[in-house]
Amino acid sequence: MSDLFSSKNETSQNSNPLADRMRPRTLEDIVGQDHIVGQGRLLRRAIQADRLSSIILYGPPGTGKTSLAAVIANTTRAAFEKLNAVLSGVKDIREVIDRADDRNRLYSKRTILFVDEVHRWNKAQQDALLPWVENGTVILIGATTENPFFEVNRALVSRSRIFQLKPLGENELLETAMRTLCDKERGYGKWNVRFEEGALSHLVEIAGGDARSLLNAMELAVETSVSPWPPAAGTEIVISMEAAEESIQRRALLYDRDGDYHFDTISAFIKSVRGSDPDAALYWLAKMVRAGEDPKFIFRRMIILASEDVGLADPNALTVVISCAQAFERIGFPEGNFPLSHACLYLATAPKSNTTLSYFDALKEVEREDAEVPNHLRDASRDAESFGHGEGYVYPHAYRDHWAAQQYLPNTLKGRTFYIPSNIGYEGKIREDVLHKKELQAAIVLGDSDAGGEFLSWSAAAKGREGWFKRLESGRSALLLRDRNIIFKEADPSRQDRVLIPLANDGLLLWESLRRCPEGLTAALVNTEAAKEALLRYAQVLDEIEMPQIALTASEEILPSQKLCHEQFDCAEFDHILIRALRLTTSLSSLAKRAKQLLSKNGKLILLSSPVRLGERISRILNEEKLMSDKKTTAKLAKAEEEFFSDTKGSLSLNFWDERDLTSAFEQEGFSAELTIIDQKEERLITEKDLTSWFNTEQSRWGSFMAEKLNESDFKLIEEALRARITAGPILWKWKSVCMKAGLR
């Protein structure tokens, strides 16, 4: 039934309302809603591939929900059925299901069911459809002007992907009007229709983002401005301002205490409390109470907020709110306003932390894989003798600080971090201790197999001491996390954005982009087939349409060409380009030119890199750790290092750029750039192998340069001072990274 949205003949088509006649037929006809059906977006890809799963289209009237369903009807190879929830009941649903079941059994043909105003169905009617959506007999496209999370059966929502359509902007409405005036088949292109100055703008403004309202007003204005209708082809029709004003009325605002008004007000209250604005919080609280909101509902939301948004920043918040709720139960209104206000003000002025959300990260891991308990954590009271359960467990209370570094997560989750304490309130007081222990645990589980691999006590004299020092370097996991957070904070992508991630072998930015942009596009570039296979294996938990798009490139250029992006991702423009590169392997000017080609109009490029010029200096280590008594030798080394890292003509000159070079390269291509210099540091173990490579005057460029600038005795003295230092353990290694956010002017 793919012609449900088309007219049976030309006569009936011309008699249909203008809004119905001008309904889009293809994706290219759709005006606006680029955030869900624009180039490269998830929904567009699903429609073009005819791989649509159940969806619910949610948005105000006139934003194109039914039109989008019409486009799907014209595009899909599946059978298309339509029901209107206002006019249809359970009997109609069963008839559609019977036809869909027959098609599936007899012809292996899918059925798409479009339900307009789906929120109008009661629970029984929605439940009647649920099993058939769940088993795939029908693919549901629901359209609703009401929030589906509140008005549509939860089970139905959970089996569908929600797409929110937005009111059309004035430019989009104006484009719709001009298409109508130019279309000779469906619109008014046969006649010379003119609007007096300001008349069409008035219709667009009053339509308020509603294309249907605009087209209805145009129809009334045009077809009542000449009599009889239709006139002869080529007739001039002038629409006056008066006619335009009479053809459209300003829409009344919707007010529904049990609908969006209720949820929007509680949302404003929660966000005001979360944002620590006690004045706004009191205003929205008073508005809810005055409107007759149930105080139990308000207290329930504040109890949730006390854990979700205050959490360990103030552990007393939960106790205070529960006490206020109990007090209200005893005294009721009107005195109950005092405990309501008490709880509200306490939460609004309390320090904030949302680290309790880390539970849901752990829950995701549990749902993804039921990992085994490590052997040393198993119950030793039952199976220790037979299976060695509990062997190797370190009893924390046997140590001075009642703590010992050992692995507590399953082997498959080694090094995984869920809880990262904030630096606010009480949580800020425990932050340093928690992170210190996490670093040591990460060092153990990410390192080699020294000392049994699963545990190692703190004792410096314990077996495996050298291994512990090596694994202390794995605090680098925190650096990676910090880099990722910096990049995404600068990018701040929305759910529908298209993101390009070059140098994605480690997946650090890839998975975060998929989480933040589930309705957009995440495209990644890797340089080895093994990396591509590993990332795709990890992504197998996702639905096919949600999988990241990963392309293999052998080019030395960091950014791909538009041609490659179009071939691999079916998208040549991106809203964000996210680059994390320890070293840049291409010239800055080439990088800027390619970024200019790949970024959309308002797109942003975020680059985080550590230029060699801003790296660590051996002279700084010698100075700060007071490793040499001869200050003159250290000063000579510092001068030589500065000269070495300022050399822009040597074989490594590509990496010897600084923040000024980076800004200049992008500004020359028409970008505006914002730079942030980030101080980085980590405990790093310097080994004998490292020293040998550094001070090798034949193979090390740094070593040969320093040997040339320093006399032989000074050069040897520096090497010996470092060699004596590395036996004492890790060195605090410091460097600077550059984070640039660039957008086209």
The pTM (predicted TM-score) of the whole model is 0.58
Please confirm whether the linkage preceding 334 is cis (ω < 30° from 0): yes
Whether the CB-CB separation of 550 and 557 falls below 8 Å is answered with: no
Residue 384 has pLDDT above 60, yes or no: no
Whether the CB-CB separation of 349 and 278 falls below 8 Å is answered with: yes
Query: 510-518 — which CB contacts under 8 Å span 24+ positions?
Result: 510/535, 510/548, 511/538, 512/484, 512/488, 513/548, 513/578, 514/539, 514/542, 514/546, 514/548, 516/488, 517/493, 518/42, 518/546
Q: Bridge-partner residues for 143, per DSSP?
A: 57, 116
If we measure between CA atoms, which residue out of 583, 628, 617 comes closest to residue 734? Answer: 617
Contacts of 192 (CB under 8 A, 6+ apart): 234, 235, 236, 237
Residue 442 has pLDDT above 50, yes or no: no
DSSP state of 392: T
Query: 488-493 — which CB contacts under 8 Å span 24+ positions?
Result: 488/512, 488/516, 488/578, 490/604, 490/606, 490/676, 490/739, 490/741, 491/576, 491/578, 491/604, 491/606, 491/741, 493/517, 493/520, 493/575, 493/576
**Three-state secondary-structure class, residue 569:** helix
DSSP state of 404: -
Residue 118 has pLDDT above 60, yes or no: yes
Residue 115 has pLDDT above 70, yes or no: yes
**511: its two tokens:** 């998975």
pLDDT tens readout for residues 142-157: 999 888 888 888 888 8
Q: What is the pLDDT of residue 466?
A: 37
Q: What is the pLDDT of residue 2?
A: 41
Among the ranges given (49-63, 538-552, 570-584), the one the predictor scored with the smallest mean pLDDT: 538-552
Mean pLDDT of 83-108: 88
Q: What is the pLDDT of residue 478?
A: 66
Q: Could you give the C-alpha distances from 591 to 188, 199, 595, 596, in angstroms and in order?
A: 49, 48, 6, 9
Mean pLDDT of 511-531: 88
pLDDT tens readout for residues 420-440: 777 778 777 777 676 656 544
Q: What percent of the chain has pLDDT over 70?
A: 84
Mean pLDDT of 464-480: 45
Mean pLDDT of 329-357: 90
Q: What is the pLDDT of residue 607?
A: 96
If we measure between CA atoms, which residue out of 141, 142, 146, 118 comes closest to residue 61? Answer: 146
pLDDT tens readout for residues 616-629: 899 998 888 888 88
Mean pLDDT of the chain: 81
Q: What is the pLDDT of residue 381?
A: 64
pLDDT tens readout for residues 12-29: 445 788 988 888 888 888
Mean pLDDT of 533-558: 79
Q: What percent of the chain has pLDDT over 90?
A: 25
Q: What is the pLDDT of residue 256?
A: 45
Q: What is the pLDDT of residue 25?
A: 87
Q: What is the pLDDT of residue 355?
A: 84
Residue 740 has pLDDT above 90, yes or no: yes
Cβ burial of 229 (10 Å; 0-12, 13-18, 19+) is exposed
Q: What is the pLDDT of residue 387?
A: 43
Residue 262 has pLDDT above 90, yes or no: no
Q: What is the pLDDT of residue 9?
A: 44
Q: Using the structure block, give the residue that is written with the tokens 């069911």.
A: 113
Residue 354 has pLDDT above 80, yes or no: yes
pLDDT tens readout for residues 684-723: 777 787 888 888 888 888 888 898 889 888 899 998 888 8
Polymer length of the chain: 745
Please confirm whether the linkage preceding 410 is cis (ω < 30° from 0): no
The pLDDT confidence band at residue 416, using thresholds 50, 70 and 90, is low
Residue 445 has pLDDT above 50, yes or no: no
If we measure between CA atoms, which residue out of 540, 560, 724 comes closest to residue 628? Answer: 724
Residue 362 has pLDDT above 50, yes or no: yes
DSSP state of 25: -
Q: Using the structure block, give the residue that is written with the tokens 């060092």.
A: 443
Mean pLDDT of 645-660: 65
Residue 290 has pLDDT above 80, yes or no: no
**Three-state secondary-structure class, residue 195:** strand
Residue 656 has pLDDT above 90, yes or no: no
Q: What is the pLDDT of residue 320?
A: 95
The pLDDT confidence band at residue 477, using thresholds 50, 70 and 90, is low
Q: What is the pLDDT of residue 346?
A: 92
**Three-state secondary-structure class, residue 115:** strand
Torsion of CA 214, 215, 218, 222, to 10 degrees: 180
Contacts of 37 (CB under 8 A, 6+ apart): 27, 30, 43, 44, 47, 68
Cβ burial of 130 (10 Å; 0-12, 13-18, 19+) is middle
Mean pLDDT of 275-279: 87
Among the ranges given (247-261, 307-321, 725-739), the one the predictor scored with the smallest mean pLDDT: 247-261
**The 3-state secondary structure of 121-134, one letter per residue:** CCHHHHHHHHHHHH
**The 3-state secondary structure of 57-84, one letter per residue:** EECCCCCCHHHHHHHHHHHCCCEEEEEE
Q: What is the pLDDT of residue 404?
A: 61
